[in-house]
Amino acid sequence: MDTTAPHVVRGAFGERGRRTRAAWERFVAGDDDVQGVPCLILLSWYRSRDRYLVDPLRTSPPPSIGAGGTSLLQDSVFTQLGGIAASLADHTDGSLTTVTDGSGRILGSWGADEIRRRAAQSNLAPLFTWSEAAAGTNGMGTALGRTRPVSVRGPEHWCSCLHEWTCNGVSVKDPVTDQPVAVLNISFWRQDPSRAISSGLERAVAPLRSLLLERAVRDGADLVKAFLEAERKATADDAVVAVDAGGNVVAANHRARTLEDRLPAIPALEPGERWRAASPRLREIAAEAGLRATKEPSWIGTGRLDLLSIETTFEFRPVTSDNGFIGVLLVSTDSPQGEPVHVPAEVMEGARNRIVGICENRLIILTPNEIRYAEADRHAVWLVTDRGRVRAASRGIDNVERELAPFGFLRVHRGYLVNVQRIREVDQGFCKGTLTVSTQHHGREVIPVARRHVPRLRTVLSI
């Protein structure tokens, strides 16, 4: 494995760093009109300020509060990343390398004594949690939500205690659940490393990503074997569906496909080829089955699903391998024998507080606060979000209004809904008695407010 260190440029952050620091100060004060900040960093700043409410002047992230259970495969990933991190630290002068788990908790750090002492002063050390939700924009936490490497330089960090650091992180994700397993990070104090750092991190974690993908394919094959055995025992009227640990459909028999024609006709061993339902119900069933199977290997659940064209009662049968829980078989039945599956209220509430969008045939899960406004384009509806424009999964502005109204969205025009909490400017409209609003301070965004909606908007905004 090639862990040779890329070139590092020494010195402070210079004029670029001063401009970024000035932009950070304006943004922290509430000004959205900032220029010259990379889009990735600016979106993370929005999340840090508006969604996570992280104090930018805090000097310490929250400490870890204990480790959850990990699988043997995850432990193997942590161990191998530790070896990679140690090698990178040995070959890169002045660097600190760290490994975090999937929640951003630092598990270990490597580097010379001096750099580790400096890092400890900024709490870049084991027993501290650097998720973006806990500490705002930073190389480790921001990398958790992405596949490609993330570089956060100097004042691009949300917390001021890291403004003299450059942090570069890359995540290793579970290819089935798309959840982060770990992050490899390399940091420098008052140094601006070259862009080659990112490609070096990519090369370093590539073997681990391949290992996880190979394992996912083998688990998929084991799940298909269990599916074929269940199908052999089923009657012609029984629908049989194999769902992986992430709630994705791996295989379905003919009867299931007559109920839902989008289910795969050929078993999908590769995680990227598996069918993903828009509803979170399959993911919830897989999560519940995984928890119960760990405690009770013989557990079988039951419940009704309306994901198919007609509501059907299924038994939920967990499938395990030497890697633990790998999926669940759904077998339709008229006489369910298993325990009813009830999703906890807090899980259902969390699922209800998510909005589904579509971008390039991918499902995008959004929190309502990420959405600034919605704009109708005939029957399609576009959500203008902190991640860019995303098409709503629901069609028709009226349907989207019903979904978003509970979260503080207001109909201001026949073609527009606006998140009242995100309104930054109100101005006179082009016609008498009308208004326009903007969710940005710079005024280049214009959302029309129809005359009949003006009184209600004024009441809501107290203007």
Q: Same structural domain for residues 164 and 292?
A: no
User: Using CB atoms within 10 A of its CB, is residue 170 exposed (0-12), middle (13-18) or buried (19+)?
Assistant: buried
Q: What angle (nearest 5°) sits at the alpha carbon of residue 126, between those of residues 124 and 131?
A: 65
Residue 132 belongs to a domain: yes
Element (H, E) at 100: strand 95-101
Residue 249 belongs to a domain: yes
Residue 67, pLDDT > 70, answer: no
pLDDT at position 334 is 72
Distances, alpha carbon 304 to alpha carbons 285, 310, 319, 332, 392, in Å = 11, 10, 20, 9, 26
Mean pLDDT, residues 215-225: 95
Distances, alpha carbon 324 to alpha carbons 18, 59, 294, 450, 455, in Å = 51, 40, 8, 57, 59
Q: Same structural domain for residues 338 and 387?
A: no
pLDDT, greater one: 323 or 167: 167
Q: Same structural domain for residues 242 and 334?
A: yes
Q: Same structural domain for residues 159 and 36?
A: yes
pLDDT, greater one: 95 or 278: 95
- Do you know the residue count of the chain? 463
Mean pLDDT, residues 149-176: 94
Residue 23 belongs to a domain: yes
Q: How confident is the model at residue 348 (pLDDT cuts 50, 70, 90)?
A: very low
Say if CB 203 and CB 196 are below 8 A apart.
no
**Dihedral sign, Cα of residue 244, residue 249, residue 254, residue 255:** positive
Q: Same structural domain for residues 148 and 276?
A: no
78 three-state secondary structure: helix
Residue 142, pLDDT > 80, answer: yes
The residue among 179, 194, 209 that closes a domain is 194
pLDDT at position 59 is 65
Residue 146 belongs to a domain: yes
**Residue 161 belongs to domain spanning:** 8-194
pLDDT at position 347 is 45
pLDDT in tens, 438-453: 988 665 688 999 888 8
Residue 60, pLDDT > 80, answer: no
The residue among 302, 331, 346 that closes a domain is 346
- Tell me, what CATH number does 119's domain have? 3.30.450.40
- How many domains in the chain? 3
Distance CA 340, CA 316 (A): 9
Residue 201 belongs to a domain: no
pLDDT at position 8 is 45
Mean pLDDT, residues 305-330: 82
Say if CB 374 and CB 400 are below 8 A apart.
yes
pLDDT at position 207 is 93
Say if CB 169 and CB 188 are below 8 A apart.
no
Give me the percent of the chain exceeding a pLDDT of 90: 43
Residue 183, pLDDT > 70, answer: yes
Q: How confident is the model at residue 70 (pLDDT cuts 50, 70, 90)?
A: low
Distances, alpha carbon 266 to alpha carbons 18, 48, 173, 422, in Å = 56, 43, 26, 46
Which of 44-58, 68-82, 238-252, 323-337 is most confident? 238-252
Residue 212, pLDDT > 90, answer: yes
255: left (phi over 0), alpha (psi -120 to 50) or beta: alpha
The residue among 322, 346, 370 that closes a domain is 346
Which pair of tokens denotes residue 176? 């089935």
Q: Same structural domain for residues 225 and 187?
A: no
pLDDT at position 4 is 46
- Tell me, what CATH number does 428's domain have? 2.40.50.1020
Q: How confident is the model at residue 338 (pLDDT cuts 50, 70, 90)?
A: low
Residue 210 belongs to a domain: no
Residue 349, pLDDT > 80, answer: no
Mean pLDDT, residues 48-70: 72
Which of 81-90, 192-201, 218-227, 380-389 is the least confident region? 192-201
pLDDT at position 307 is 55
Q: Same structural domain for residues 121 and 75?
A: yes
Q: Same structural domain for residues 16 and 122?
A: yes
Mean pLDDT, residues 183-194: 90
pLDDT in tens, 11-21: 457 888 899 99
Q: How confident is the model at residue 213 (pLDDT cuts 50, 70, 90)?
A: very high
**Mean pLDDT across the chain:** 85
pLDDT at position 197 is 86
Q: What are phi and psi of 398, to 5 degrees?
A: -65, -40
Mean pLDDT, residues 188-215: 89
Q: Same structural domain for residues 333 and 357?
A: no
Mean pLDDT, residues 205-224: 94
Residue 214 belongs to a domain: no
Residue 213 belongs to a domain: no
Q: Same structural domain for residues 179 and 133?
A: yes
pLDDT at position 3 is 47
Q: Same structural domain for residues 78 and 180?
A: yes
Q: Same structural domain for residues 361 and 324?
A: no
Q: What single-letter amino acid sits at 452? A: R
Say if CB 292 and CB 280 are below 8 A apart.
no
Q: Cβ contacts of residue 382 below 8 Å, gap of 6+?
A: 374, 375, 376, 389, 390, 391, 392
- Tell me, what CATH number does 259's domain have? 3.30.450.20
pLDDT at position 36 is 84
Q: What angle (nearest 5°) sits at the alpha carbon of residue 270, between those of residues 131 and 239?
A: 105
